[in-house]
Structure 1
Amino acid sequence: MFNQDHPLLMWLNHRALFLREMIRLEGRCNQVSVPSCLKCDSPNPEYKCRDCLGPELYCSTCILSVHVHHPLHRLQKWNSQYFERISLKTLGLRIQLGHTTGQHCPNPRRAFNDDFIIIDTFGIHEVSLDFCGCAITESHMQQLLRMSLFPSTTSDPKTAATFRVLEQYHLLSFESKVSVYEFYHALSRMSDNTGLLLVKDRYESFLRIIREWRHLKMLKRSGRGHDPKGVGATAQGECAVLCPACPHPGKNIPANWKDAPRRWLYGLFLAIDANFRLKRKAVSNDSVDPSLSSGWAYFVEDEAYKGFLDSNLDNTQEVKSTCSSHNAVNMADTKSNRGLAATGLGTVDCARHNMKRPNAVGDLQKGERYINMDYLFLSTLRHSVVDTLNVSYDIACQWHKKLWHRMSAFPVSMHLLPAFKTISFFVPKFHLPAHIEACQTSFSFNFKSGVGRTDGEAPERGWANINPVASSTKEMGPGARRDTLDDYFGDSNWKKVVGLGHTMLRKIKDALPEQQNHHEALDDLEEGLRGEYSAALTQWREQVEAWERDPSKPNPFERKAETVTMASVRLELAKDDQNDIQTGACLALHEDCTPSVLISTGLELEEQQRRMKAGRAILGVHASENQEGKLLQRNNTLQRRIDTWTKLQELYMPSLAALRVSERSVSGGMAAAVPTPEAIKLWLPSQIGRTAPCDTRLQAIEWKLRYAQAHDALRSLRSNLRAQTAILKYKDRNLRGQGANTRARNTLKAVEARLEAAASTYECAHKALVVLAPLLNQTGWHSSLRPLNRADIRSMTDLLWGESEGTRKLSWIWNMRGAAPDEMDKDNTLEDMRIEWCKARARAMRWAEEVELLKEEMRRILQFLEWDAQCWDERGLEGALQDVDDDEREGLIAYAKRQSSLRRRLAASFRTSWTDTLALADTCNYSLVTQEGMDIDID
C-alpha cells in the first residue's frame, strides 16, 4: 500500500486539473476574448508554434520574422474551430545558406531547392533552401556544414540532418541502444502521426549520415583532425580510448619501472572472452560495405585478420579439453554457423577496469577457436611493452598450453619473447567452480601473489551493456557493424574514464577495512597455531613461498589426492586372494568365486537393480514393443545372474537359505507372485546385520568396498555438478532458439539422471556402512562420509534459501576428507590446518595487495590525465601552425584547449575526492610479502 504522502497519491488529487490544462492548450487560451498578435497587435492572429515556449498567437508576418533563425519549428494555424498543421515553407520562409542575408551577395539564389529535406529533433521537414552562388562562396556541401547541417551526399545533396538531431541520436543509442530504424520512424511520427500526410522516406540517407557522424566524432575526439599529416596517417588502434589506470610506459609509470623492487605493481591485467550473442548474418560483404576505419580503434584490421585465418586453416585442430565440460574448446569445431558470417565476437579487455583494449576485438567464424583468440591476444599486446602479464580466460587451463608453439605461426611483429615476459594465467572467479579441483587452486586469483582482489570477470560485465545492440547489428553489413560496435566500445570506455573518480574511491573504501580485518584474522590464527603447530607453521610458510616463486613445486592449497576408489579396493582384494593362494591360506569354497569376488559381484548386481528400476520408471505405460522387448531382455539377464550368484552365496552364507524361506512365508508363501529382479533382496552382509550369523571376513570385505563405493559416488556427484554448472552457463550465454535449448535441456536431463544415480548409490553405501561399522568396530569414518541430504547436492556457487555470498556455507561434499580410516584423524587435521592457514594468509595478502594496487592505479590515473592534457596542448600548438584560414585555425586551437582543460578538471575532481581516503590508506601499512616469480610453464 502507498503511503498517503506518496507523490503519486498526492498527484491523483490534482489529476483533473492536469487534464483540464492539457485540453485548454488545444484552444487559443488567453487570446480568445481579445485576439491580437503578440508582436504587432494586429487583430485576429492565427498562428502559434508548437516548439516555442508558450501558446502565444502571431500574425503571418510576425510568425515568419520570429522564426528566421528557427526554420525547423512546427507551426499550427487556427481555422476558426481548431488548430491545424501548417509549415513555415507554406508561409514563404526560405533558408539562405552562405550569406544569411543577400545584401553583400551578388547572386544569393543562383542555386535553390524548394523540396529540400532536413531531419531534425522536431521531425522531418520539407523546406525551401537557397544556396549562395557568388564567386567567393563554398560548395553546397560546405554551406550546409557551416549551418550545422550534415548533407547526405557529397554531390548535389537534397537531404541533410541537423547536428542537433545527430547528437541526440548518438547519445540515445548509447544509453537506450535504440536502432536508427526506430529513431527515424519516431521522427517520422513526430512529423505526422495520422498517416494522412506524405512524409518523404529518407531512412537510407539518415542511416548513412549516422555512420559517417560516428566515424567523424571518433576521429575528432582522438585528435586526428589536428595531425598535419592528415586522417590517412592514423595508426592501428590510435582512436581507442585508453584505460588511464592501466600501466602505460612513458605516460603514467616511472621511467625505472623495470628495476622497481615491486614490479608486480606495474603488471598488465588482461581478460579474454567471447560473446556469441553478437552474431552477424551472412549479408553483404567487405567490398560492398567496407569499414571506414579498419583497425583504427578496437577491432583488428579485418583484411590481415581474415587473411591469416584463411592461410592457417590446416592448423586449427583444437586439442580436446582435459578439464570439465569446456564447450568453448570441445565444441569449437561443431558450433553452428548456418546463415551466419560471424558467430560472435572475441575480445581482450582490461581485467581490472573493464575497458576494451586497442585492436583486441574480432569476429568469430566457427566457435571460440584458439587461432582467433590467439590473434586477438597477440594483436593487442603490440600496444604494450609491460613485461608482467596477468591473463584471465575461462578456459585458461587449456588455452595456455602450447601457446608459444602456436605463436610461431604468427607474423614476427606479433611475437612475444618469453624470456622477457612474466606471465600468469588465471580462470575468472565465477567460472572457476566449474573446473576440476586441480584447476581451482592452480589458476585461482585467490592464491597467486601480486594480483590483489582481481576477479577476471570484466568482460562479462561489459557484455551486459552491449548485448542489447545484437538485434540491430546482426543485420548490418561487415563494415557498418564493425564501425558501430567500435563506437559503442569507445563510448563505454569513455564513460568508465569519467567515472573513475567514484569507482576507485568506492573500491579503496571497501578494501581498507577488509585489509585490516583479514590481517587481524591471520594474526589470530597464527597465534592459535603457535605451540603445537609451530614447526608445521614454519614448514607451511616455506612450502607456500616456494610455490609462489615456482608454481611447478607442490601446490600447498591442494589436498592429497583421494586414493580410495572401487577400482583400488578391488585391486587390493585381488592381491589378497593372490597372496592367500600362494601361501596356501585360501579358503575359497568355489574355484571361480573367492569371498571378495562374491561381495564385489553382489554390489554390481545391486547397482544393476537400481538401473533396472530407473529404466522401468522412465519407460512408463505407453512404451513401444521395441522398448518393452529390450527391457525384458535386460530383465531376464539380470534374473539369471542373480540366480547364479545366490547359489554361490549360499556356499559362504549357509544361513541365507532359512532366511529366504522365512521371507517367502511372510510374503504369502510359494503361491505369491514372483518378484521382479530389481525387487529381489540380495542379503549382503550389511542387510543381514545381527539377524543371522555371518563371517566377519565377508563383512570386512563389504566394508572396504562400500567405503570405496561411497567415495566414488561423491566423486561422481562433484563431477556432474561441475558439468551441470558449465552447461547451464553455456546455455544462458550462447544458446538461442527452440532447437538448441531443447538439446541443452536433454543434456541437462541426462546429467540430472546421473546425479540422481550417484546420490542413490551413496545413500545405499552409507546405510550399509552404518550397519557394518559397529560390527567391525570401525570409527572415525563419519567425519568424511556424512548423511546426504538433498540440500547437500549443490554446486560450490549455489546458495540455499536465505543465504548470501557473505553468509553461505559450502556443502560438505566439496571439502570432505578422503584418507583411509586408520590414518585419518591426525593427518587430515594437520592437512586441514595447513590449507586453512594458507587460505587465511592468501586472503590477507590479496587485500593488502589490492590496497597497494588501488593506490598505484589512482596515482596512474592522475598522471595519465595530465599526460593526455599535455598532448592536447601540443595539438593546439600544431593547429596554430597549420596552413589553414583563420577560422579553422581558431577552431583547432579552441577544441584542443577545451579537451586539455577537460582532462585537468577531471584530474582535479578526482584528486579532491580521493585526498582524505588516500591519507587514511597511507596510515594502514601492513607487511606485504610477495614474490616476483609468477611464471607458469606454458609448454
Structure 2
Amino acid sequence: MSPPSPDAEMEWEFVSLRSLGLRIQLGHIPGQKCPNPRRAFNDEFVVIDTHGIHEVSLDFCDCIMAKGHVQQLLQMSWFPSTTADPKTAATFRVLEQYQLLLFESKVSAYEFYHGLSRMTDNTGLLHVKDRYEVFLRMIREWRHLKMLKWAGRGHDPKGVDATAGGECTVLCPACPQPRKNLPADYNTSSSKRWLHALFLAIDANFHLKCKVVSKDSIDPSLSCGWAYFVEEHAYKDFLHENVDVTQEKSTCASHNAVNMADTKANRRLAATGLGTVDCAWHNMKRPNAVGDLQKGERYINMDYLFFSTVHHSTVDILNVSYDIACQWHKKLWDRMRAFPPSMQFNHAAKITSFFVPKFHLPAHIEKCQTLFSFNFKSGVGRTDGEAPERGWANINPVASSTKEMGPGARRDTLDDYFGDSNWKKTVGLGSTMLRKLKDALPKRAEHQVALDELEEGLNEEYGAALEQWRTQVEIWENDVAQPNPFEQRMETKEDEKDIQTGACLALHEDCSQSVLISTGLELEEQQQRLKADRAGLGMHTTDNQEGKLLQRSNILQRRVDSWVKIQELYMPTLASLRINERSTSGGVVAADSFKLWLPSQVGRTAPCDLHLQRLEWRLRYGQAHDALRSLRSNLRAQTAILKYKDRNIRGQGANTRARNTLKGIESRIEVAANRYMCAHKALVVLSPFLNETGWHSSLRPLNREDIRFMSDVLWGQTEGSRKLSWIWNMRGAAPDEMDKDGSLEDMRIEWCKARARAKRWEEEVELLTEEMRRILQFFQWEAHRWNELGKECAIEPGEDSLREGLIAYAARQASLRQALSHSFSASWADTLAFVANINLSLPNDSYADMDIDSD
C-alpha cells in the first residue's frame, strides 16, 4: 500500500489501546497451566499509573484454580480500589511515587491526581473518567498497609489485630532503649547513669488545624493508635470526663500557652493544632506522643501525651523540656492521679529534671533562667530543647491539605509523614553524629582551657573561696533544692533570713517580696527599652516594624497586668492610686508609659512597707553598679573600634558596617546611662526613709559630660588640665583594682558559668560516643528481630510462595540494618579512635587546635 500523498488531508485522533483491541490477561501463574481456562471480562476498567489515567480491558481468570479478582490484580502490582468487584486500580509505582512526593514536596492528593489527569489529556478534548475519590481511598489504604509491613506485622502469627499501641513507630536508635541498646547493668552503674537518660521535648503546633469536615464515627483512623497518634477514643473520653478542670495562671512571665489556653479560637475547627512529645536530642516523634488540641495548649492535653509516651519507656532518668516547664511541672504528679492506672508510674523511683528550651528561656523571669537552664544542669551536654521547633518548619506546608481532611484521614496522613521523617533521620544519623562529634571535640578543649586560665588567676587571690564555690556547685548539681550558685545571693539570703525569723510576709506562694521588686525592675527596663526602640524608628516606619513593636507592647502589657495583681497584694493602697490615675488620664495608658508605682515612685504619696523600700534600695544599689560596669565596658569597646576603624578600614562598605557596629554600641551606652540615672533617682528618694548614708561618694549624679572614655578630653581642656570622669575613679572601675566586696559575687557567678560551659562540652562528647554505641547495637538488635520474624511466620499449607516472600522480606530488612551498622561503624571508626586516644593519653589543651579531618 502506497503512503498517502503530502497533499492529502490527514486527521489525527487520540485513541486508547483498548479501542485498538488490547486486552490484558490476569491470573496466569508462571510454570502452571490452567486446566480449564475461563475468563471474566471487564471492558470498563480504569488504571491509574505514573503516565496518566487509562481505560483498559481486563480478562480475569475464572477457572477453578483462580484466585479472587483482588489477588489477581495484586499479582500484577495493581492496587484495587475495593475488595468487592473492583473497577479501578492504581499501580504500585504511582502510589509509591505519590507517597515520596508527599514527603519531599508536600504535594496534595488533589494536585497530584489532577497532574496525572493532565498527563492523560492536556487539551480538554478527551473525556477522562474522574477517579479522584477512589484515588484518595487507595492511597490511604496503601500507606496503612505499608506501615504494617514495615513494622513486621504481617509476620506475626497472631495477625494484625494483635498490634499494640505505638508498635508501628520508627524508634530512635540513639535514644536509650532497654533490652535493645542498653547494657544489662545500665541501672546499677551509678557513676555514668546520666548517659542513659531519656530526653523529651514537649511542644504544640497551631498550624496543623483540622476543620469540622467529618467525625470519627464516619471517618475513623485505620491505625487505632498503633503509631504516633494516641488512641483517639480513649483520649477524647478522658478529655470529656475532665472538661471542667481549670488551669492555674502563670506566675512567671505572661505565657500565652498558659494564660490563654482556654481562649484559643476554635470556631468551625475540630482541632486547633497538635501537641507532641519528641526526642529532644534527635528530633524524632515518639510512640503515642501526638494528639489533637481542642482549644489552646492546655495542661490536660499535654499531660495525656506526656504520660502516654513515657509509658513506653522504663529508663529511670528523664530530662523533660517544655517552653512553660516552670509552670507545667509544679502540680504534674498531683494531676497524674486523675489518669488511668495504666498511664501512671512511680515518679519517686525516677529522676526527672525539667528544662526550658534555650531560645524560649529569655522570656522567663530571672529565677527561671538559672533554675531551668540546660546550660547549668549536669548530665545534659549541649542539648537546647528546641528540637520540635525545627521539625515544624518541615511539616507545616502539609497543613493546607490536612486541615480539609476528615479526622481519621488526617491522623493517618500525619502518622505516615512522621514515620518517614523518623526514618530519614535514622539513615542520616551516620553523618549527623559524626558532624556533632567533630564540632564538640575542639569546643571541649577550648572551654576547658578557658576554665583553667580563669581558675589559675583566681587561685592567687581567691583560692579558699574557689574551693568553697566548687563545693556549692557540686551540692546544687546533686540537689537542686539547695541554694542555686548561679543566682545573685542577696535576695535569696534576705528571704531565707526572713523566713527563719518569721518576718517574711509571703502573700503569694510563688512570688515573695524580693521577687516582686526584682520583677518590677525588670519590667521597668523593658519599658525603657521599648520606648527607646519606638523613638528610634523615625517618621517613615514600615508595617513590619510597627507590627513587631505592637507585638512587644502587647506582651509587655500582659506581663505588667500579671505583676500588678500580685503587687496589689503587698501594696493594697495602690488600688486607689491607680483608680485616680485612670480617671485623670481619661484613656488607656500604653505599656511603656504605665506607671509601676514601685516603692521609690510611691515616696510619700501613700504608705509603703519599709521592708519593700529596703529591698528596692538594695536592688537599685546593685542595679546602679551593674549599669556603670556596662557603661565602662561599652565605652572601652567604642574607643577600640574607633581606633581600629581609623587605622585599618577603607572603603564605603567596610565603613558602613563599622558605623552600624558603632551605632549599636552607642545604643547600649545610652541604655546603660538611662539605667544608672533611673537607679540613682530611686536611691535618692529611698535613702531618707532608710537612713542610708555614705553611698553618694561612689554613686554620683551622672551628667552627659561624664560619659566618656578615660583618655577623652572635654572641650576647653588640655592634656595637662583634663580630669578623669568620676565613673573611672570609683571602686572597682579600673581593670587592675578588684572591689573585693562588690565584685566577688560577680566573679563567683562568672566562674560557675565558665565551669558549666566546660562541663557541658565534656558531657557532649561523652553523650555522642555513647549514642554512637547505642545506634550500632540497636541496628544489631533490629537485624536479629527481623531474622526471628522470618523464622516465626506461620503460613497455612499450600501457601509456599507467600512463606518464601515473608522470609525474603525479613532477610532483606535484616540485611539493611546490618548494612547501616557497617556503614556507620566504618565512617566513625577513625574519629572514635581519635577520641579514645586523646581521652587516655593527651592533656585537654594539646588537641585544641588539631584538625580531626587531617586523615
Q: TM-score, normalised by structure 2?
A: 0.71
Residue 839 of structure 2 aligns to a residue in which SS? coil
Partner of 1:843: 757
Partner of 2:811: 897
Question: CA shift at 1:135, angstroms?
Answer: 1.2
Partner of 2:696: 778
Residue 532 of structure 1 aligns to a residue in which SS? helix
Partner of 1:170: 99
Partner of 1:519: 448
Change (3 A) 1:430 1:181: same
Partner of 2:849: none
Say whether 1:92 aligns with 2:21: yes
Partner of 2:213: 283
Say whether 1:551 aligns with 2:488: no
Change (3 A) 1:264 1:766: closer
Aligned CA RMSD, in angstroms, stands at 4.0
Q: Answer whether contact 1:108 1:130 (CA < 8 A) is retained.
A: no
Change (3 A) 1:44 1:120: farther
Question: CA shift at 1:91, angstroms?
Answer: 1.7
Question: CA shift at 1:784, angstroms?
Answer: 12
Say whether 1:265 aligns with 2:195: yes
Q: Structure 2 matches for 1:254-333, cutoff 5 A? A: 254-261=183-190, 262-315=192-245, 317-333=246-262
Question: Whole-Å Cα distance in 2 between the matches of residues 116 and 45 of structure 1?
Answer: 36
Question: Whole-Å Cα distance in 1 between the matches of residues 224 and 461 of structure 2?
Answer: 66
Q: Answer whether contact 1:766 1:787 (CA < 8 A) is retained.
A: no
Question: CA shift at 1:132, angstroms?
Answer: 1.1
Deviations 1:107-138 (A, max 9, x none): 65632121211000000001111111111101
Q: Structure 2 matches for 1:360-371, cutoff 5 A? A: 360-371=289-300
Partner of 1:936: none
Question: CA shift at 1:197, angstroms?
Answer: 1.0
Q: Which runs of 5 or more structure 1 residues have no equivalent in the other structure?
A: 1-41, 47-77, 566-606, 619-632, 639-677, 679-700, 719-754, 790-816, 928-939
Residue 111 of structure 1 aligns to a residue in which SS? strand
Q: Residue 328 of structure 2 is aligned with which of 388, 396, 399?
A: 399
Q: Answer whether contact 1:710 1:765 (CA < 8 A) is retained.
A: no
Deviations 1:532-558 (A, max 9, x none): 100110110011111111111110001
Question: Whole-Å Cα distance in 1 between the matches of residues 701 and 353 of structure 2?
Answer: 37
Residue 55 of structure 2 aligns to a residue in which SS? strand
Residue 468 of structure 1 aligns to a residue in which SS? helix
Partner of 2:160: 231
* Aligned residue identity for 1:560: R
Question: CA shift at 1:705, angstroms?
Answer: 8.7
Question: CA shift at 1:712, angstroms?
Answer: 10
* Aligned residue identity for 1:847: W
Q: Answer whether contact 1:248 1:384 (CA < 8 A) is retained.
A: yes
Q: Which moved more, 1:247-256 or 1:87-96?
A: 87-96
Q: Answer whether contact 1:278 1:470 (CA < 8 A) is retained.
A: yes
Q: Residue 861 of structure 1 is aligned with which of 746, 755, 775?
A: 775
Partner of 1:425: 354
Change (3 A) 1:784 1:385: farther
Say whether 1:409 aligns with 2:338: yes
Question: Whole-Å Cα distance in 2 between the matches of residues 287 and 45 of structure 1?
Answer: 64
Say whether 1:358 aligns with 2:287: yes
Partner of 2:385: 456
Q: TM-score, normalised by structure 1?
A: 0.65
Change (3 A) 1:880 1:562: closer
Q: How many residues align?
A: 659
Question: CA shift at 1:90, angstroms?
Answer: 2.1
Partner of 2:402: 473
Q: Answer whether contact 2:277 2:289 (CA < 8 A) is retained.
A: yes
* Aligned residue identity for 2:817: R
Q: Structure 2 matches for 1:30-45, cutoff 5 A? A: none
Question: Whole-Å Cα distance in 2 between the matches of residues 343 and 282 of structure 1?
Answer: 11
Q: Answer whether contact 1:290 1:479 (CA < 8 A) is retained.
A: yes
* Aligned residue identity for 1:439: C
* Aligned residue identity for 1:200: K
Q: Answer whether contact 2:157 2:794 (CA < 8 A) is retained.
A: no
Q: Answer whether contact 2:266 2:294 (CA < 8 A) is retained.
A: yes
Q: Residue 336 of structure 1 is aligned with which of 256, 265, 274?
A: 265
Deviations 1:548-578 (A, max 9, x none): 1111111000123569x9xxxxxxxxxxxxx
Percentage identity across paired residues of the two chains = 69
Q: Structure 2 matches for 1:566-645, cutoff 5 A? A: none
Residue 276 of structure 2 aligns to a residue in which SS? strand
Q: Residue 375 of structure 1 is aligned with which of 304, 323, 326?
A: 304
Question: CA shift at 1:458, angstroms?
Answer: 0.7
Q: Residue 923 of structure 1 is aligned with which of 837, 843, 851?
A: 837
Question: CA shift at 1:355, angstroms?
Answer: 0.4
Change (3 A) 1:539 1:761: closer
Change (3 A) 1:399 1:706: closer
* Aligned residue identity for 2:264: K
Q: Answer whether contact 1:848 1:926 (CA < 8 A) is retained.
A: no
Deviations 1:572-595 (A, max 9, x none): xxxxxxxxxxxxxxxxxxxxxxxx
Residue 535 of structure 1 aligns to a residue in which SS? helix
Question: Whole-Å Cα distance in 2 between the matches of residues 411 and 337 of structure 1?
Answer: 28
Deviations 1:3-58 (A, max 9, x none): xxxxxxxxxxxxxxxxxxxxxxxxxxxxxxxxxxxxxxx98699xxxxxxxxxxxx
Flag the structure with larger Rg. 1
Question: CA shift at 1:194, angstroms?
Answer: 1.1
Partner of 2:552: none
Residue 259 of structure 1 aligns to a residue in which SS? coil
Change (3 A) 1:388 1:100: closer
Question: Whole-Å Cα distance in 1 between the matches of residues 672 and 8 of structure 2?
Answer: 82
Q: Answer whether contact 2:38 2:63 (CA < 8 A) is retained.
A: no
Question: CA shift at 1:785, angstroms?
Answer: 12
Q: Residue 199 of structure 1 is aligned with which of 128, 137, 141?
A: 128
Say whether 1:539 aligns with 2:468: yes
Question: Whole-Å Cα distance in 2 between the matches of residues 904 and 546 of structure 1?
Answer: 45
Change (3 A) 1:177 1:195: same
Change (3 A) 1:300 1:108: same
Question: CA shift at 1:195, angstroms?
Answer: 1.1
Q: Residue 876 of structure 1 is aligned with which of 790, 804, 816?
A: 790
Deviations 1:362-391 (A, max 9, x none): 111110111111111000011110010000
Q: Answer whether contact 1:710 1:761 (CA < 8 A) is retained.
A: no
Question: CA shift at 1:765, angstroms?
Answer: 3.8
Question: CA shift at 1:709, angstroms?
Answer: 11
Deviations 1:308-356 (A, max 9, x none): 11111122x1110011121100001111111111111111111101100
* Aligned residue identity for 2:307: L
Change (3 A) 1:414 1:785: farther
Question: CA shift at 1:419, angstroms?
Answer: 2.3
Q: Answer whether contact 2:169 2:286 (CA < 8 A) is retained.
A: yes
Question: Whole-Å Cα distance in 2 between the matches of residues 770 and 847 of structure 1?
Answer: 42
Question: Whole-Å Cα distance in 1 between the matches of residues 815 and 487 of structure 2?
Answer: 54
Deviations 1:627-666 (A, max 9, x none): xxxxxx999979xxxxxxxxxxxxxxxxxxxxxxxxxxxx
Question: Whole-Å Cα distance in 2 between the matches of residues 713 and 528 of structure 1?
Answer: 23
Question: Whole-Å Cα distance in 1 between the matches of residues 146 and 294 of structure 2?
Answer: 30
